[in-house]
Amino acid sequence: MLSEKYIAGFLDADGSIHLHLVKETWKPQINVSFSQKVGKDEVLRLIQQRFGGVLTIETIKQAEYARLDIRGKLAKMMLNTIAQHLVIKRHYAYALLEREQAVVGDRDQLRQWMKEQRKLRSLPLPNFPSRKWLAGYFDGDGCVSVMKITSLGAAYLVATIACADYDTEGLEIIQKNFGGVIYNMAKGRCRQWRLLAQPSKVKDFFGYFGKHSIVKRQEIQFVLGCAEMGHFRDGERIKSALKQLKSHEHRLSESASEPASLLKTIRDLPVQRRTDYGEFVRNERGHIIGKMKRQSDAA
């Protein structure tokens, strides 16, 4: 069974809460919804097992997405259970639970109120994110990728999390405890936290919550295994392996066999350093295979 803290983190990242007016009574009804790409949607099925709701498949830009909608009493029960563990949407969840008790006849007024409440910060912020909350949050909005391959062939690994400009509470506590930088995106409408993931940072960040991850568990297991080497020098193979893991469907029942198998293909290459003399010799793929000495050195 999914933990309440994990679900709270996943809702903070990838979930939506709103009030819907019931025509017969003009009373607002709480709706909670989630969406994930088909093949990466097992977490939605686990949430459905815990709190109910209706799971449907919809096509968005030629891609299939699973959507879970939890309404009415089930949604209210869910929020009452997990609201205390929310970091970003905590104020909004409690505001909707309170407003749900009142009769509202003006739909436009309700929408404007929700828009205003949604942008209010959830204070106070926790000093440190819980492991399970962070696993759910990263599963919803996080990404681990190879930003580039350096001139020496090493992978430049980066962990990122993106959010709306009024949803930065999660990024702030993550930056406070794990470092990284928060950037503006989309002309200031979005924010992105970015961590340049050296091996020690990979162990520190992903090692903290990785075992509680669901959607990105295999990717995290793989990069943690690479970090054990103390470097990411076999950049092309690391990049290819991560791409392979991202493209596969995921099921919680799957073992760690694929990350372990891919780790066996990663070479523990020796360190390559540039010096003030000579030039590197590269093969047809651009990989360094040796160093050409100057004539004075070879004499």
Is the pLDDT score of 103 beyond 80?
no
pLDDT at 76: 96
Distance, in Å, from the CA atom of 7 to the CA atom of 16, rounded to the nearest integer, reads 12
Rounded to whole angstroms, what are the CA distances from 279 to 116, 153, 167, 212, 292? 61, 16, 49, 47, 5
Distance, in Å, from the CA atom of 255 to the CA atom of 257, rounded to the nearest integer, reads 5
Is the pLDDT score of 286 beyond 60?
no
Distance, in Å, from the CA atom of 2 to the CA atom of 15, rounded to the nearest integer, reads 15
Look up residue 256 and give its two tokens.
């760690």
Look up residue 19 and give its two tokens.
């009030």
DSSP SS3 for 69: strand
pLDDT at 95: 96
247 Cβ neighbours under 8 A, 6+ residues apart: none
Question: Where are the domain boundaries for CATH 3.10.28.10 in the chain?
Answer: 4-118, 132-263
Q: How confident is the model at residue 278 (pLDDT cuts 50, 70, 90)?
A: very low
Give me the DSSP letters along 111-146: HHHHHHHHTS---SPPSS--HHHHHHHHHHHEEEEE
Window from 41-50, 99-108, 208-217 with minimum mean pLDDT: 99-108
- Looking at domain 132-263, which CATH architecture does it have? Roll (3.10)
Is domain 4-118 in CATH 1.50.10.10, yes or no?
no
CB 75, CB 35: distance < 8 Å: no
Is the pLDDT score of 248 beyond 80?
no
CB 233, CB 153: distance < 8 Å: yes
| Global pTM value | 0.87
- The percent of residues above 90 in pLDDT, for the chain, comes to 72
